[in-house]
Amino acid sequence: MASTSIVLILGSGPRVGASIAEKFASNGYKVAVASRKGTGSKTAEGYLSLKADFTKPDSIPALFDAVKAEFHAAPNVVIYNAGALSIPSDKDSVLSVSAETVVSDLNINTISPYVAAQQAIIGWETLPKDTKKTFIYTGNILNVSIVPVPMMLTLGIGKSASAFWVGLADLTSAARGFRFFYADERKEDGSIKGHELDGPAHGEFYAQLANHEENVPWHATFVKGKGYVQFK
């Protein structure tokens, strides 16, 4: 592993985000985590904790600047783990979600990660060629399956849009050694995990993706204990 092995985790909750951070730290990475509860200082685990507002895409570059200032190098692994959904004002009418709310959630689900990917590439250009450079977006089944629940509207819009640009970025960046993944944990039968997401399973799989193991495609569907599993 290169001496510049640094991971920036954007959206660090107590389950998935915390497990990802723990796994990468155990693999020798310097870890930075960004969330609404960020402190601007080190956590008890030794992570750099940054305060973030993912509704504001123009705030993303400053997070990368803070990582470089602290660790004297850009992060070679960037993980976007934030997400948002909003309940319609009329629970039975999907289009009762206001346009303003759609925009706010789209910023969190699509625009901020897009800006993060741009910043990742800027940083990667400064790193040694033999350093593995990886962007991972925490997705779900909504890019390929419409769940008929009105409250899925803004989340589904964001996941679908992000899956496209993540896939396009990956398929057009191979020659540069950059990998982009839309990671989606599934049940063994391929159905949505929903609230049953497994934090440690994400940590294990994301560490594999960061090492560019087993030629996993950009649409990285996975099952706990099995790793990548292709679903139709």
Q: Which residues are catalytic?
A: 159
CB atoms within 10 A of CB 8: 30
Spatial contact of 49 and 38, defined as CB atoms under 8 Å apart: yes
d(CA 124, CA 147): 37
Q: What is the dihedral of CA 105, 137, 142, 176, to 10 degrees?
A: 120
Spatial contact of 8 and 63, defined as CB atoms under 8 Å apart: yes
Count of CA atoms in the C-beta half-sphere (13 A) of 34 = 24
Q: Could you please report the per-residue DSSP string of 75-141? A: -SEEEE--------SSTT-GGGS-HHHHHHHHIIIIIHHHHHHHHHHHHHTTS-TTS-EEEEEE--G
Amino acid sitting at position 34 = A
d(CA 105, CA 111): 9
Region at 225 (left for phi over 0; alpha for psi -120 to 50; beta for the rest): left
